[in-house]
Amino acid sequence: MNKKIIAACAAAGGVVVLVLVLFFTVFFNTTDSYREIKIYKIEGSTNVERSGDQAIDAYENMQLMNEDLVNVLAESFTQLKMDEDKYALLEPLTSIRLEATGDAKDSNTKITLEKGSVVNHLDNPLSEKSSYEVNTPNSTMAVRGTTFKVESYVDADGVSHTVLEVIDGNVETYLVNPDGSKTEGKVFTAGQKIIIKSDDKETVFEFESKVNLKELNLKELEFLKVHFNEEYYCTEQEINDAIDFLRNADAEKQDNTDGDSNTENGNTDNTVVNQDESNIDTDNNTDNEEETTYVDDNDEPDSDDNDADVDTESNDNKDNSSDKSDDNDKKDDKTDKDKKDKTDDKDKKDNTDDKDTTDKKDTTDNKDTSENKDTKTDTTDNKDNDKKETEYTVTFKYNNEVFASQTVKAGEKAKEPTLRPTANGKWNYSFDKAVEDNITVEWEKE
């Protein structure tokens, strides 16, 4: 009897323990209640601004908070890591405002891109209650699980642009007009590149093309390679090829820079040599002048000796005077000849210098003439280019509203938009025509 009672109590105790375990597991499990968002990697300098605080220098593994403003400085890159499966690569001169709510299971992430560019990657599809958005001044991109790049900038005319490049998955895009109103969302798929433009009146899809890996930078390509999956619009080998292409281009650019530097050093050496040669010529001229002066001084002592001989020995002096006179005549002739030779040498040198000066002047004149000719040619070419590069705007409308627009060079053809306003219909325009003016194309429903 006692054994049965003990067994019954033990069983009841086991049930109580099991119930308590289940209770705490269900109601107090905090595994999915905490979101971890942090600075994952930094190259260069980045700072974080928090409400009421000054900007603080960011560091790897720094925990970020809701409403933090992250600023990436020039020539720097920063990666964020969110919930262990979401990544964002922030590029130089990029600023984002981070909004993060919910928990790791049901997370809501909003990145407001104030300027710059960000590459986003989600390892896993989001849950039904989760969201991930990137907002720019003129658009909103919403995803469920994908890899995509968003860039935001304002051009010199004050026109706001957003560039979307989809690497894998789908990105639903909403246009935001200057008055704050949003258009119906459009879905773009892997491999598509979209440019969105807005002025003070409206926001439109300006241009659509295909993503070109070689137009990305090296850090972006390396980021895509790390997170590569089979859903990418391209192969892993194509990413590797693009990386090699950019590295080779950088190496070639460095070689050209080194070559220009060596050429500048070579010109400096030539200048030094020419200066040395100029000094040598100056020294030679100085020696010649001193030699000429020395010859003139020897004439006076000979004249004094002849006068002394006349006073002491008249007979001998007559002979000697005659001899000396002959000697002096010869010496004078020699001196005159030397002077003449030196004068001729000097004249030859002057003629040579004049010829060199004339040659240099002719060369300079020829060079100036050539440069003038090149300038005239460049001016003519610029006029031709201005004429050839005239651009026109092709505006596509649906229900009297702008659906899209294209910028087309004069003489080229407009391309039919990939997106269609309705399932059935067509544009009332022949895309075989060359564009010669600004035109508006309407959508005709069937």
> Among 391, 435, 397, which residue's Cα sits nearest to residue 417?
397
The pLDDT tens digits for 199-241 are 888 999 988 899 999 999 999 999 999 999 999 999 999 999 9
Which pLDDT band, with edges at 50, 70 and 90, does 13 fall under? Answer: low
Instruction: Please state the pTM of the whole predicted model.
Output: 0.55
List the chain domain ranges.
37-233, 298-381, 391-445
Measured on CA atoms in the order 276, 280, 281, 283, is the torsion positive or negative?
positive
Question: Residue 201: which H helix or E strand, with range?
Answer: none
CATH of 37-233, one of 3.30.70.270, 1.10.3720.10, 2.30.30.140, 2.60.120.1440: 2.60.120.1440
* Pair 208, 197: CB distance under 8 Å: no
Alpha helices in 68-173 (DSSP H): none
The pLDDT tens digits for 249-290 are 989 888 887 766 666 555 544 444 344 444 434 444 444 433
